[in-house]
């Protein structure tokens, strides 16, 4: 087994937090699961209950009369968002206070989730899945970081110093990059294939990415970088390609090339959604 295989195996068997998160992931495997069954498990964990209720009542979902029960909240949010909560909790990356994470990880995940859902709404894609892929897209970075913080920081510093993409430095140091590491874990936890693929491909050449959800996470990631979160070397808006040009490839029709006003409006929406999301996930 080479280094990448050993690490992948460790990630697959990552000790997940016992309790509601793992039970939820198992339950979500059942295609006939009901909102009531999910709510029963969620309600065993007070902090998960609080976050789910707060998110369902946030302006992001615009529910007029208020969501009072967890059952109702799971219907408002949809299964993919409940799954994102469960996977994020199981991996220990859901809140700012969950263990060690690379610099800016949590803020950048919130911004990418906000950006993915804003773009999905405009392109009439599933906003729940958008939020999920945005929230979990860099999960692998937190896991690689935790596997060896010293080496991860060295790889990051080396990448910055030589203006090398972070994923290249990760591959040299760990044998696999954070996009692959995230996909390995989420696949082992049986998340839907398109979500696993979207996360695994989020640093691939955008011209070669065709699946709508995979393209969406590239667009959301770039927009999140444009709002000032994430490390520069993790960005697609690298060297020669501008944000405009990248969006024209992965989200055609979203912004007319050169329409600075429309792009500014979208970025303002992303910033607003980021703070709404952040308020839900920052709960202790
Ligand atoms: Fe990434
Ligand atoms: Fe990212």
Query: What is residue 98's predicted lDDT score, i.e. its pLDDT?
Result: 72
3-state secondary structure of 126: coil
Query: What is residue 196's predicted lDDT score, i.e. its pLDDT?
Result: 93
User: Relative to the alpha carbon of 222, which ligand is closest?
Assistant: 2
Closest alpha carbon to 191 in 87, 271, 78:
87
Distance 219 CA to ligand 2 centre (A): 10
Angle, helices 212-226/127-136, rounded to nearest 10 degrees = 60
Q: Sign (positive/negative) of CA torsion 255, 260, 261, 263?
A: positive
Q: What are the residue ranges spanned by the domains of the chain?
A: 3-281
Over the stretch 3-60, which tens digit does the pLDDT of each residue have? 777 777 777 666 555 578 878 888 888 889 999 999 999 988 877 888 888 889 988 8
CA distance 189 to 160: 33
Distance 201 CA to ligand 2 centre (A): 12
Distance 144 CA to ligand 2 centre (A): 14
Architecture of domain 3-281: Orthogonal Bundle (1.10)
Cα dist from 74 to 85, 90, 132, whole Å: 11, 18, 14
Phi, psi of 145, rounded to the nearest 5 degrees: -60, -45
Return the H-helix or E-strand segment holding 19.
none
pLDDT along the chain (284 residues), means of 10: 74 65 83 91 85 87 85 91 85 74 87 95 91 91 90 91 90 94 87 91 95 96 90 55 90 89 95 88 58
Say what the pTM is: 0.87
């Amino acid at each position: 087994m080479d280094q990448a295989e050993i690490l992948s195996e460790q990630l697959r068997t990552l000790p997940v937090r016992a309790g509601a998160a793992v039970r939820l992931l198992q339950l979500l495997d059942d295609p006939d699961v009901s909102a009531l069954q999910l709510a029963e498990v969620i309600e065993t964990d007070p902090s998960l209950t609080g976050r789910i209720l707060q998110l369902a009542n946030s302006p992001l979902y615009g529910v007029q009369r208020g969501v009072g029960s967890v059952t109702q909240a799971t219907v408002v949010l949809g299964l993919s968002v409940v799954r994102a909560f469960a996977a994020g909790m199981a991996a220990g990356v859901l809140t700012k206070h969950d263990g060690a994470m690379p610099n800016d990880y949590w803020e950048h995940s919130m911004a990418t989730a906000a950006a993915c859902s804003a773009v999905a709404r405009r392109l009439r894609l599933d906003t729940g899945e958008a939020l999920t892929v945005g929230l979990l897209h860099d999960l692998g970075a937190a896991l690689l970081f935790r596997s060896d913080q010293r080496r991860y920081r060295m790889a990051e510093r080396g990448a910055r110093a030589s203006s090398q993409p972070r994923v290249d430095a990760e591959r040299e140091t760990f044998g696999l990059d954070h996009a692959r590491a995230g996909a390995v874990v989420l696949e082992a936890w049986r998340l839907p294939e398109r979500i696993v693929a979207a996360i695994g491909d989020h640093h691939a050449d955008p011209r070669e990415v065709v699946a709508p959800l995979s393209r969406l996470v590239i667009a959301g990631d770039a927009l999140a970088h444009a709002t000032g979160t994430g490390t520069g070397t993790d960005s697609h808006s690298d060297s020669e390609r501008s944000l405009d040009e990248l969006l024209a490839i992965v989200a055609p029709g979203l912004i007319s090339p050169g329409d600075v006003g429309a792009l500014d409006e979208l970025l303002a929406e992303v910033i607003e959604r980021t703070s709404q999301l952040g308020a839900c996930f920052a709960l202790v």
